[in-house]
Amino acid sequence: MILYDHGLTVLGGILKGYHNRNAGFRDFATSNMKTFSLIQWLS
């Protein structure tokens, strides 16, 4: 369920990127950092 919610967050960040590249990219990068942290925590 967490991964599903996270997927929506990433998708939202990408969609926002089309409207506002800088803000969208910041959201996308932030959500990516959360993914990397989660992967490191699980491994």
What pLDDT is stored for residue 11 in this prediction?
77
Residue pair 24/10 in contact by the 8 Å Cβ criterion: no
C-alpha 5 chain-centroid distance: 10
Contact predicate 10/25, CB 8 Å: no
Confidence of residue 12 (pLDDT cuts 50, 70, 90): confident
Q: How much of the chain exceeds pLDDT 70, in percent?
A: 65
Lowest mean pLDDT among 1-5, 29-33, 37-41: 1-5
**Of 26, 37, 1, whose CA–CA distance to 10 is shortest?**
26
Q: Would you say residue 1 has pLDDT above 60? A: no
Predicted local confidence at residue 23, as pLDDT: 62
Contacts of 32 (CB under 8 A, 6+ apart): 10
Residues with Cβ within 8 Å of residue 20, at least 6 apart in sequence: none
Q: Kindly report the pTM of this predicted structure.
A: 0.34
Return the amino acid letter for 22. N
